[in-house]
Amino acid sequence: MLPANKDICAMREMTCSTLLLVLVVSLTGCHEQADGAANVGQTATAAMHFSGKYPLRVVVTTGMVADLVGHVGGSFVEVTPLMGEGVDPHLYKASTGDVARLGEADAVFYSGLHLEGRMGDVLSRLANRKPTFAATDLLDRDRLLKVGPEQFDPHVWFDVALWSECLTQVEQALAGYDPPHAADYRRQAAVYRDELASLDAWCREQMAAIPTERRALVTAHDAFHYFGRAYDIEVEAIQGISTQAEAGVSQINDLVDLISRRKIKAVFVETSVSERNIRALVEGCAARGHRVEIGGQLFSDAMGKPGTPEGTYMGMVRHNVETIRRALQ
């Protein structure tokens, strides 16, 4: 009897994953290491210094990490991000092309805290033979939001001041790998750190302009709690911190109750998450006699299109803050 379609798809997915891991082993060696956890790149980097031609070829996972590495590395680094606009890093699977790019890179940076969940095996194997760094490695764990016994919310870039502290990891990693330009990396990190401090102050000012009773941010998935903590706004979401888990009917109904009871004006869709559940919220509220609008589209796990203001970290943050303020004020 022939296998069902879903079984064929599962078999193909397993085959693809196996081939990717084989390719990683061929590129990086067969040493084992725990999945994409903190400090995976430290052992490899300790004995490595860059000796090739500039610019350094650095492959990164997300646009937010690309932004950090690009500002610190400047003209000495060529940054290639794997995940573009609208891509959900929680669900992202490395393609054979991605693995080839990772294998050819001089160094690799990723966000960490299990944001790139399905790339864990690839990243951990790379770390045994190539400088591979999680941008969040040096963050004080006491400042992170805990979501499990050994698990933290990975969406730290929504607190601009906290994300700015990731510059230290990028600066130290590049300086350690490329000592001749260590002073340049320190200087460039300091310049960007000042720019992010100004952005953080602006965010606080903008959110403070929203009346306290209206500061309720309702989104598709639970990506904005660092934002809520930093800028004093209540955050509610349909899905959890990872989009891998499907939202249940009870979760949607609970939010419909909350929105209708408190007469919340607007809810928000995300560029990297389906609008389906947010549309269900709007329809559910309408059935209760409360009209709630979609206040706009927010960038959550991915930045905007390259070459646009939202294609930069600072532009993405400004877009989000302005969208939230306009809808809720």
pTM of the model: 0.83
Q: What is the pLDDT of residue 247?
A: 54
pLDDT of 37 > 80? The answer is no
User: Average pLDDT in the 25-42 region?
Assistant: 40
Q: What is the pLDDT of residue 21?
A: 46
35 compared with 164, residue with greater pLDDT: 164
Q: What phi and psi values does residue 292 have, to the nearest 5 degrees?
A: -120, 135
- Most confidently predicted of 176-180, 245-249, 272-276: 176-180
Report pLDDT digits (tens) over 105-141: 999 999 999 999 888 888 988 898 899 999 999 999 9
Q: What is the pLDDT of residue 105?
A: 97
For 309, the token pair is: 């203001």
Q: How many C-beta atoms surround the C-beta of residue 193 within 10 A? A: 16
Q: How many C-beta atoms surround the C-beta of residue 282 within 10 A? A: 19
User: Average pLDDT in the 33-49 region?
Assistant: 48
pLDDT of 166 > 70? The answer is yes
Query: In the structure, what pLDDT confidence band is assigned to residue 153 with cuts at 50, 70 and 90?
Result: very high
User: Average pLDDT in the 284-289 region?
Assistant: 93
Instruction: From 40, 109, 112, 106, select the one nearest 76 (Cα to Cα).
Output: 106
For 234, the token pair is: 């209540």
278 compared with 16, residue with greater pLDDT: 278
Q: What is the pLDDT of residue 276?
A: 84
pLDDT of 13 > 60? The answer is no
Q: How many C-beta atoms surround the C-beta of residue 327 within 10 A? A: 18
Burial of 132 (0-12, 13-18, 19+ CB in 10 A): buried
Q: What is the pLDDT of residue 86?
A: 83
Report pLDDT digits (tens) over 227-273: 999 999 999 988 654 444 455 677 888 889 989 998 999 999 888 77
Query: In the structure, what pLDDT confidence band is assigned to residue 195 with cuts at 50, 70 and 90?
Result: very high
107 compared with 41, residue with greater pLDDT: 107
* CATH no. of 19-191: 3.40.50.1980
pLDDT of 289 > 70? The answer is yes
33 compared with 109, residue with greater pLDDT: 109
Return the CATH class of domain 204-328: alpha beta
- What is the residue-averaged pLDDT of the chain? 85
User: Average pLDDT in the 267-295 region?
Assistant: 89
- Enumerate the domain spans of the chain: 19-191, 204-328
Name every residue whose Cβ is closer than 8 Å to that of residue 282 and which is 6 or more positions away in sequence: 267, 292, 293, 294
Side chain identity at residue 89, one-letter code: P
Do the first three CATH levels of 19-191 and 204-328 match, i.e. the same topology?
yes
User: Average pLDDT in the 96-113 region?
Assistant: 94
Alpha carbons 144 and 150: distance in angstroms, whole number:
11
* H helix or E strand, kind and range, residue 133: strand 132-134
pLDDT of 23 > 60? The answer is no
Query: In the structure, what pLDDT confidence band is assigned to residue 317 with cuts at 50, 70 and 90?
Result: very high
Range of weakest confidence among 11-15, 188-192, 217-221, 238-242: 11-15
